[in-house]
Amino acid sequence: MSPSNKNDQLDLGLRKFIKDLGYIAGGSVLLASTPWLQSCTPEKLEEIKGQKARIAFIGTGSRGVYHIHNLLNIPHAEIVALCDNYPPNLKTASDLCPKAKTYTDYKKMLESKDIDGVIISTPLNWHAPMVLDSLAAGKHTFCEKAMALTMDECKSIYDSYQKTNKVLYFGMQRLFDEKYIKALQMIHSGLIGDIVGMRCHWFRNNDWRRPVPSPELERKINWRLYKESSAGLMTELATHQLEVSNWAMKRIPDSVIGMGDIVFWKDGREVNDSISLTYHYKNNVKTTYETLISNKFNGMGEQVLGNKGTMELAKGQYFFEDAEPAPAILQLINQMESKAFSTVPIAGPSWVPEIATQHKPHYVIDGPISINPGISTTGVDKDGSDLLLSAFCQASITGEKAKNIVEECYCSTVLCLMGNQAIEQQKKIDFPEKYKIPYLNF
């Protein structure tokens, strides 16, 4: 099989998963909870066969290069331009894409009429101006998460998007991850009963610091450590996990309390290296969020706790409480497995009560599961990023907007910034009236 055919098969395989899940769960049910997937079918991909989206990159650091590697495997994409004001990064990207035109001024690049879509992978403080400039230049736009450094900037992006006919995507790859898609369908079908709580955590042992060849480049290279360019652990890590919590709940929290400190990495950084937060939903369910970067033992994870069981989203596993699932739920699971997936063993009571070490896992997807240990600061394979980029490139050809991606990123980013406010002001922060949008469901 040639490399291009292999790439075609990979893309089609991911899209067929979504299509099959839609048939099983019921197309209208799937699209109601995951409407951004409506264009991700083999038939939609076939409609653009032979066409290529001309893609430009702003920001060619580690995350930008990660996206470049994924894009090189997407048949309907062509990288035509690269922009970075740090020469070593630009050279690395140019070596991967020797035919692409290079720029050091992104505004100059946006003047090109040979670009359909722009991918932005820059420090957080540049997200808002670059997204707004890209949309204003008539380009379809993809920006890494989080949406922006401030709530005002988030609102400016949201308002601009309402007025444009251009596509806007954000790097919320869990929305395109097979195990998350299926797990959330199972949760919404009642597999683990009523959601009574959620626990999210992300632990690393990494100072986040990168080597600096010259002192004047410190803030440019280590931008994540300074408040002028970064909102710290919340926007870098919590954005993904709070979005998943909202996806599970089908609503967003109304308030947050929390604490944050610099516990270990006392090296002149301005952002916290340890954070603990509790988000409150109006139905009294709470999400606890904890992250630190001086101990990696617990890795990364998201638990959705139901009165009948628990879903470990990052691991693609679920566990039952003492009672057997209702027959209707077992029938749904069996239908899902028999029609689209290999058999996954389903048991009755799966652990001795209150002895967590004896919990018996069941698996969301049969076969090997890609588990993100949470250590990488760049990205991991098979986390949905490839299908997310594929969908953006397809949209850059068709002009079809993805439903809810902008709104989901807006919500999770504002919640992260609220978390930082709660830490800084040492008080409970309610969702500000000024930043409420019609999409919100409290």
**Does residue 219 sit within a domain?**
yes
- Kindly state whether residues 159 and 286 are assigned to the same domain: no
User: Is 138 in the same domain as 232?
Assistant: no
Q: What is the pTM of this model?
A: 0.89
Local confidence pLDDT in tens for the 442 residues of the chain = 444 554 555 566 667 776 776 655 555 566 667 889 888 888 888 999 999 999 999 999 999 999 999 999 999 999 999 999 999 999 999 999 999 999 999 999 999 999 999 999 999 999 999 999 999 999 999 999 999 999 999 999 999 999 999 999 999 999 999 899 999 999 999 999 999 999 999 999 999 999 999 999 999 999 999 999 999 999 999 999 999 999 999 999 999 999 999 999 999 999 999 999 999 999 999 999 999 999 999 999 999 999 999 999 999 999 999 755 555 666 666 565 555 433 333 333 333 344 454 678 899 987 666 677 667 667 667 788 999 999 999 999 999 999 999 999 999 999 999 999 999 999 999 999 999 999 999 9
One domain, residues 137 and 235: no
Distant-in-sequence, close-in-space partners of 29: CB < 8 Å, separation ≥ 6: 185
Residue 331 lies in a domain: yes
Tell me the CATH number at 118. Answer: 3.40.50.720
At 53 the three-state DSSP class reads strand
Domain count, the chain: 2
Are 58 and 380 in contact by the 8 Å Cβ rule? The answer is no
Rg for the chain, CA atoms, rounded: 22
**Residue 369 CB-density burial (10 A; 0-12 exposed, 13-18 middle, 19+ buried):** middle
Q: Do 231 and 138 belong together in one domain?
A: no
Torsion of CA 70, 73, 75, 78, to 10 degrees: 60
Give yes or no: residues 210 and 354 share one domain: yes
Q: Where are the beta strands (DSSP E) in 125-267?
A: 140-143, 168-170, 195-203, 255-261
Q: What is the pLDDT of residue 335?
A: 60
Separation between Cα atoms, residue 367 and residue 71, nearest integer Å: 26
Residues 60, 162, single domain; the answer is yes
Half-sphere exposure at residue 374, Cβ-oriented, CA atoms within 13 angstroms = 26
Residue 440 lies in a domain: no
Tell whether 74 and 163 lie within a shared domain: yes
Residue 348 lies in a domain: yes
Please indicate, yes or no, whether residues 160 and 205 belong to a single structural domain of this protein: no
CATH of the domain at 298: 3.30.360.10
Residues 189 and 331 in one domain: yes
Q: Distances in Å between the alpha carbon of 53 and those of 168, 195, 373, 401?
A: 15, 42, 33, 15
Three-state DSSP at 330 gives: helix
| CA atoms 73, 75, 76, 79: torsion sign | positive
List the Cα angle 169/175/180 in 5-degree steps: 170
Is 427 within the bounds of a domain?
A: yes
DSSP notation for 423-439? HHHTS-EEPPGGG--TT
Residues of the domain holding 138: 3-175+385-402
Q: Are residues 343 and 222 part of one domain?
A: yes
